[in-house]
Amino acid sequence: MTYEQLGVQKGEVLPERVVGPPETYPPLEFRPVQPAQEKNLAESYLLVVKKEFREHMQNSQYYIHPGVKRPDIERYSDRYQLLASHRGQLNINWSRCPKELSHSSAAAKKRKSWTKKTDAKKAKVKDLNVSEALEALQKKEETQTKEGVEEEGEEEGKPEGEEIEELEEDDEELDEGTDYVNNYFDNGDSYIDEEDDALEEGGVF
Amino acid sequence: MAAPDLAAEVEQRVLQLCGEFKQGITYQIIQNDMPTLKLQHIVEIINKLLATSRIDMLKKDDDVLVFKLRDPGSLHRVKGAEPEEQVVYKIIEESGTQGIWAREIRAKSNLHLNTVDKVLRKLESKKLIKSFNSVSAPKKKTYLLYNLEPDRSLTGGAWYSDQHFDSEFVDILNQQCWRFLEQRAVRARQVAGGPIAVRNASYVASKEVLKHISDLGITKVQLSIEDIETILETLVFDGKVERSVASEGAEGVKLYRAVTGLLPTPTLMCIPCGVCPLIKECDDVGNVTPIKCRYMKEWLDLEW
Amino acid sequence: MSCNLQKCCYKILNEYFGDIVARVGDALFQKGLNPLKVICAHTKLPYSKVSEALAVLVQHNLVTWEEWRPQIPGYTLLHDRILLILRFPRYVYLVREQYGEEGEMVVDVLLKEGQATASSIIITSCIKLYEAATDESAVAKGSLEQKHIVVRNHLLKLIENEFIQRCPSPQDSSVPVPVLSIKEDQLYSLPSELLDLKALQQEIQLRRAGNTKPAVTHPDAQIYWRVNYDRFHIEFRDSEIRNCVVRRVDPLAGECLGAMLKVSYTRSDPWASSMNVVTASEIRDQLKDLKYLDQYLKILEDDSGGCVQKVGDAGGGQYRLNMANAYETMTHTLIDNIVQERFGSKAARIFRLIRKHRMMEQDQIGELSMIGKKEANLLSYRLLHDNFLRIHEQRKTLAPSPANKIIYLFHVDMNSVVRMILEWCYKGLYNLMVQREMRANYNRRLLEKRTRVDTIVENLKQSGGSEEQIQEVEEMVTPSERSLVEQVLSTQDKLFDAETGLDDTVFILQMYLYYQMQKE
């Protein structure tokens, strides 16, 4: 807008011109409003709940930490972080998600599921294979980085006294997944359950 | 040349005619009245009457000369004045509180513009007339008699002093009206009879507000109902006052009452970002970032 | 998509779920519907971690999936829900007020888990309630035996009132891309056979005894529940409108409005812009005995910013609640307040003027606002510069001639102003979180030291340490450190409070936009 449009007359004295580069943060014309009254009960309570919720979530299994161990300095703070025994073991109902999430998730691998009666037999036979396989796996994990090393997830395992609330479907049987999954990962080992005929024919990509 | 006593008679007659025709008489009228009189004589008599300030000469729109009886009061005022001064003075006098421009004076008096200017300056120095700037024509000087106040419509009404908008005055009135309405609203809450009774009790007619303000005596300026209503309307646009109309007979009466805002201050305005002039530029890179933000620091560390 | 919203969502996910989940969420925000491998490629995170993150997001109702290619799922982020995390304390508080401690615990547990079975909700709630009650008298403990029944009852009530709803379940969980579905009538029904009270009690006792994974089965193991956010939003919305009425008139007027709402819900969709008609006699019944009801109805009709509309005279008066109008009026007030605090009361006056008159010429503004022409122009320009006002050019006549003047008309485009303010809110939230994080990091050592000391002192106290020992430990933190810690913590609190308050502003604006979109 021109000076005329602003209604400034010619020759009128304008506010003092600023000399030099303008301040990045010019002084505020209006400050933020101060709350008029003391915080009321509701507001105080909301604050408490918020902080508690936040703390809970950060210590919960849902807070995913990067898996890398920090070999350098053992920080003092490490001692006081709740040694989440759940770290790396996400305890949810995997049947309610797309299968690939449980297959590929390292966390889900360590899942021991609840066996149903009908599968008890199957389970026993699998057990041996599985526990050996798992041991080997665990060793492997220790030495390898996460990338590229993914084994099929779900195995019916013997309940290690670790039962969980959420029922896992017993159809989390070992299946090699789709070809897509297989082709993506270089699986040197495939723990195909021989009793499981279901070699799924997935689409080839 | 007419006989002296005849001349006196004619003078009297002319003056009588002027008295009869308050709006002034023309040569034609005089001739009609005294057909035997020669025009030359009429002119002489007119000139004498002018010279003695018994009559004034004016030029009407259609270029006809008109002669009017001179008010003896004003005679005193411009005694010793040149004829041009008298003419100009008369013209200005007639414009009343509206005032008149120099150019218009020239047209009416048929005098040369330079003459007019000179006369105006003289009259001003004698403090017989003064000038002001009308809001409708801010660049032209408008003249009127010294002791008159210019008409309100030209000065911008109560809100202008010396053609300068007196915003402080407006603000003071705004505050005072608000206070009056607010007090009334507070008192109204004590009224029994239900919420409508309370609401009605909080309404104030603009007339009453005018009286209150006038009684306060904060200003010498005579305010009108329209003026007060203008102020009250600004309070409506401040979100503090609500207007309603009650019908009383033929006209509606404007009622006003103070109201509470619907919402408290939003939290956005309790944090620096709400008032920050740089909010559009604020980003994670550059000089204006939440981490570098000076206002955040001041707000949180209370170091304004 | 809004950059501010994206950054805000990232920050929230980061705070509550960690960096990995935040990055996965961010990738989804940016790229939209995508399969796992694309997300991995974009985030450069390992497959396992991305899967985990997605699982967490799914668990917390923040991500859905669909079949992207045959048998391959594609994931979508529900970004609006991420913002709701900031609102969780409000949900909890509302339930506390309306349903008490047990109800509050139920919702609290459920919000923390995202989805859970009724059994696990009851069990976890009971255990937490026990833990909280150990500080109280033994009398209270006596009633703890039957706590699971009390909690179950609260859960049932919350479900019945639709604050909690059943999650859709996979019809066939053997397929790679399960399809979730639920029947309408199941949404809010928890049949009693789904809960085995004995089993619940058993598990609770086992857990309290220290058995972390008791082997107890429950019949409802595949039926999950989640919080129904929108139901809470109805409460917030109603409460807000009532507060406005109370401020404007008086508390009884608020009661009156509450009654109107209650009756309206018996026959209207609570999210409709305009509810169905209710009569004065129905309202009267609802209120039992409100003196001057007729007066209040009249006042509400006049003074509710278009929320209460009278549509007829039958039954003592027929009324209709118009929520869209209510939020329009509230939002106008909100924006006016913002202008006032940001530019001053004279600017606010100009803004209200222009809003009312829709289109105004510059000269008119100065005249009607009773602000000097120059000041009025300067303020108008500032409002224009910050996009609160817009200019519309109009030629005086259609004939293109040099004498043709262009008039500039100022006007307010409310919808775009609201959107702009909403963006500012998102940015504000982000900035607050950044500041909070920065200050926490900056003072981390100090805060940790204080925490450590407090823990040690606590342990000493519990194990019967001597006064001397306790004092010695406490002195490890110097007085100046102590006061600094206090300061830091109080600043954190200020920032948390601001976050919560800012969400209130967001809520109003979101409601406004919701109703505006309904109009279209």
C96 falls within a domain = yes
Shared-domain flag, residues B55 and B110:
yes
Contact A62 C17 (CB under 8 A): yes
Residues of chain B positioned with their CB less than 8 A from the CB of C304? none
Q: Average pLDDT for residues C478-499, to the nearest whole number? A: 93
Query: Phi, psi at residue C92, to the nearest 5°?
Result: -60, -45
Side-chain half-sphere CA neighbours of B5 within 13 A: 0
Average pLDDT of the segment spanning C254-263: 95
Identify whether residues B17 and B93 lie together within a single domain.
yes
Say whether both B215 and B253 belong to one domain.
yes
* Statement to judge: residues B151 and B37 lie in one domain: yes
Q: How far apart are CA A172 and CA A155, in angstroms?
A: 7
Taking the Cβ of residue A89 and every Cβ of chain C, the question of whether any pair is shorter than 8 Å is answered with: no
Instruction: Give the type of residue at A70.
Output: R
User: What pLDDT is attached to residue A105?
Assistant: 56
CA distances (Å), origin A144, targets A94, A140, B18: 25, 6, 124
Confirm whether C330 is domain-assigned: no
- What phi and psi, each to the nearest 5 degrees, are found at residue A124? -60, -45
CA distance B249 to chain C (A): 23
A196 residue type, one letter: D
- Structurally, chain B folds into a number of domains equal to 3
Closest in B167, B260, B274 to C248, CB measured: B260
Q: Which amino acid is at B76?
A: H
In 3D, which of B190, B239, B179, B242 has the Cα closest to residue B212?
A: B179
Same domain, C92 and C217: yes
Contact A96 C169 (CB under 8 A): yes
> Do B28 and B129 belong to one domain?
yes
Q: Which chain A residues are closer than 8 Å to C73 by Cβ?
A: 98, 100
DSSP designation for C315: G
Mutant choice from B136, B275, B291, B300 vs C, greatest count of C C-beta within 10 A: B300
On the question of pLDDT at C388 being above 60, the answer is yes
Whether residue C10 has pLDDT greater than 50? yes
Could you read off the pLDDT tens digit of each residue along chain A, which spans 205 residues? 555 555 555 555 556 665 667 778 888 889 999 887 888 899 999 999 999 999 999 999 999 988 754 445 555 555 444 444 344 578 889 889 998 888 765 555 554 444 344 444 444 444 445 555 555 555 555 554 443 333 333 333 333 333 333 333 333 333 344 444 444 444 444 444 443 444 444 334 3
Do the Cβ atoms of B282 and C253 come within 8 Å?
no
B153-157, C35-39, C102-106, C140-144: range with lowest mean pLDDT: C140-144
CATH number at residue B36: 1.10.10.10
| Cα B97 to Cα A199, B94, B143, B151, distances in angstroms | 107, 9, 9, 5
- What pLDDT does residue A175 have? 39
pLDDT given for residue C340 in this prediction: 96
Q: Is residue C332 part of a domain?
A: no
Q: Which residue type is seen at B25? A: I
Which residues touch C249 (CB under 8 Å, ≥6 apart)?
Answer: B195, C296, C299, C300, C303
> Which residue's entry shows tokens 């519990």?
C462
Measure A80 CA to nearest chain B CA, in Å. 28
Contact B270 A34 (CB under 8 A): yes
A203 touches chain C (CB under 8 A): yes
Mark out the alpha helices in C344-413 (DSSP H runs).
Answer: 345-357, 362-369, 373-385
Residue C61 to residues B164, B230, C225, C390: CA-CA distances in angstroms?
65, 56, 11, 40
Give the structural domain span for C168: 84-227
Same domain? For C303 and C252 the reply is yes
Same domain for B49 and B26, yes or no, is yes
Distance from CA of C67 to the nearest CA of B (A): 37
Q: Would you call C333 an interface residue with chain B, using a CB distance cutoff of 8 Å? A: yes
Do C464 and C393 share a domain, yes or no? no
Query: C247 and B296 in contact by Cβ < 8 A?
Result: no
Q: Which residues contact C314 (CB under 8 A, 6 or more apart)?
A: C279
Sign of the alpha-carbon dihedral angle for B209, B211, B213, B216: negative
Residue C441 lies in a domain: yes
Q: Are residues C24 and C63 in the same domain?
A: yes
> Which CATH number is C352's domain given?
1.10.10.10
Question: Do C494 and B274 count as a contact with CB atoms less than 8 A apart?
Answer: no
- The answer to whether residues C317 and C356 belong to one domain is no
Question: With a CB-CB cutoff of 8 Å, which residues 264-283 of chain B face chain C?
Answer: 265-271, 273-275, 279, 282
- Over its length of 304 residues, how does chain B's per-residue pLDDT go in tens digits? 456 677 788 888 888 888 888 788 888 888 888 888 888 888 888 888 887 777 878 877 777 888 888 765 554 455 556 778 888 888 888 888 788 888 888 888 888 888 888 888 888 888 888 888 776 666 778 888 887 777 766 666 777 776 678 888 899 999 999 999 999 999 999 998 889 999 999 999 999 999 999 888 887 777 888 889 999 999 999 999 999 988 766 677 889 999 999 999 999 999 999 999 999 999 999 989 999 999 999 999 887 6
Tally of domains within chain C: 5
Q: Enumerate residues 6+ apart whose C-beta is below 8 A from C345.
A: B238
The stretch C136-163 carries a mean pLDDT of 81
The 10 Å Cβ neighbour count of residue C402 is: 5
Domain boundary among B123, B157, B191: B157
Residue C74 pairs in a beta bridge with C35, C66
Tokens of A12: 């009128």
CA of C98 vs chain B CAs: smallest distance (Å): 24
Q: Which of B265, B277, B304 sits opposite A26 (nearest CB)?
A: B277
Which one of A132-136, B42-46, C347-351, C465-469 scores highest in mean pLDDT?
Answer: C347-351
Residue C18 pLDDT > 90, yes or no?
A: yes
Domain end call among C412, C447, C465: C412
User: Is B275's CB within 8 Å of A32's CB?
Assistant: yes
Asked, for residue C311, whether it belongs to a domain, the answer is: yes
The answer on C204 and C262 residing in a single domain is: no
DSSP 8-state class, residue B25? B
CB C219 within 8 A of CB C193: yes
Could you tell me if B194 and B59 lie in one domain? no
Instruction: Let me know if residue C405 belongs to a domain.
Output: yes
Tell me: do C476 and C441 sit in the same domain: yes
Q: What's the rounded Cα separation, in Å, for the pair A103 and A108?
A: 7
Contact call for C424 and B265, based on CB within 8 A: no
Q: Rounded to an integer, what distance in angstroms lies between the CA atom of residue B26 and that of residue B57?
A: 10
A114 to chain C nearest CA, in Å? 10
Closest Cβ–Cβ partner in C20, C59, C362 for A66? C20
User: How do residues B213-234 score in pLDDT, each as one tens digit?
Assistant: 988 888 777 788 888 999 999 9
Q: A150 in contact with C at a CB cutoff of 8 Å?
A: yes
Does residue B43 sit in the same domain as residue B106?
yes
Q: Are residues C286 and C362 in the same domain?
A: no
Whether residue C376 is contained in a domain is answered as yes
pLDDT at residue C162, as a whole number: 96
Q: Does residue C333 lie in a domain region?
A: no
Q: Which of A46-50, C135-139, C205-209 has the highest mean pLDDT?
A: A46-50
C423, C502: one domain: yes
Domain end marker among C227, C250, C276: C227
pLDDT of residue C193: 87
B288/chain A closest Cα distance in angstroms:
8
Domain boundary among C375, C397, C412: C412
pLDDT in tens, C297-324: 999 999 888 999 999 998 889 999 999 9
B contacts of A34 (beta carbons < 8 Å): 270
End-of-domain residue from the set B157, B175, B206: B157
pLDDT band at C276 (very low <50, low <70, confident <90, very high): very high
Q: Do C462 and C497 reside in the same domain of the chain? A: yes
Same domain, B110 and B183: no
C299 touches chain B (CB under 8 A): yes
Residue A86 makes CB contacts below 8 A (sequence gap 6+) with: A60, A61
Cβ contacts of A39 on chain C, cutoff 8 Å: 497
For chain C, what is the radius of gyration of the CA atoms? 28
Q: Based on the domain organization, do C143 and C207 belong to the same domain?
A: yes
Range of the domain at B271: 267-301
Residue pLDDT, tens place only, B232-245: 999 999 999 999 98
